[in-house]
Structure 1
Amino acid sequence: MKKATGVVQRGRGRPRGFDQEVALERAMLLFWERGYEATSLDELSAAMGISPSSLYATFGGKEQLFRAAVDLYLARGGGNMARIFAEEPTARGAVRRLLETAADELTRTDHPSGCMIALAGTQCSPGARPIQDLLRGHREAWHVALQARIQRGIEAGELAPGTDAAALTTLYSTLLLGMSVQARDGASRESLRAAAEAAMRAWPGAPRGPQDPA
């Protein structure tokens, strides 16, 4: 009879004695809380419950682990924008829901406050430039998606033809990033929702449709 070892066999080769998904989630939370450069490999290994050698063997190193953590963050809801834009029938309703969802998510108490994409790579040395580029790329993609949604609203007649979609996008993108910093500094859900409400009063143009919230 074989002795039970408690290690999951993964085909031929050396077995891995930890849950990779759980370990990655722990790494994600640590990166989210502390940022990329402020998080050491020793801290990651301790949080993940694995040795540094297992970390390298499984994830390939700190940068590769961070990239996997970002993918997990986005898959877990950090990328709500596409779903919101698909579900909301108007540009104004989509932007309003985006801001309100951000106020709720950024201030939850069951995970670090703020947005990992906004905060985890703001202060990095030149050697971590690929990480800054990665996060900047995600933020720029969100900006492009937001501007495209506003532009569709203009083309659909929800906003006046002369509306500056680029300026409006920058306004609400800036607010979203600022909300993330405010949440990290301890701002409440209520205060961020109030900021979102104030920002929506700056929405220009045409009358609201019957499905658009007041």
Structure 2
Amino acid sequence: MDIYIWLASLSALILLLLIFNVRNSRRFNLLDHWLHHKLVRQRDGISWQIVAFINDPKLLVVWDVFLASFLMSKNETLLAFWALFTLGFTDFVGIVLKKWMHRKRPIMHSSLEDGYSFPSGHVLGTTIMALIVWRLFADTLGSKLLLILILIWMMVVISRISLKAHFPSDILGATSLAVFCFSICQQFLLLVI
């Protein structure tokens, strides 16, 4: 089985289980609230707000446009459009899912946060951008790039919990959705190449 089909299947299964439990299981939601409470160490740290700002979903679109411009300057037009499409497709699915779920944010979340909670837009955008960058530059930059991308992802996850913006299931849901959308977009790219 192709790795991207396997990743898409696994991430879809995790996402569907999360959606079902967030919408229907009181026990799951109580566990999610309890885990969120245990993970939160501080209310608002300026450093976490900076991390959240740099990885804001709207700003990630700007980063993606810069990436696509760079790729086009290297005559990689197909990859540039793929990078733009992958982020756009993922963001679209994330917005639709967020509006459909209507999950409220944790109590006492930062006043800078608005909208619904599931899935986390910051984690969704950061995860998909990390996967895009990994796909494009892994051959040349290798394990150092992977370490940097994982570190950035972890900082975004910690910022979303520390700012009380999301429950742990919002983070896992966003990560699963990003992997699912990336796997689908990667399959399309492989068909075109």
TM above 0.5: no
Shorter-normalised TM-score: what interval? Answer: 0.3 to 0.5
Name the structure where helix makes up a greater proportion of residues. 2
Task: Compare relative contact order (CA 8 Å, sep 6+) and give the higher one, 1 or 2.
Answer: 2
TM-score (norm. length: structure 2): 0.37
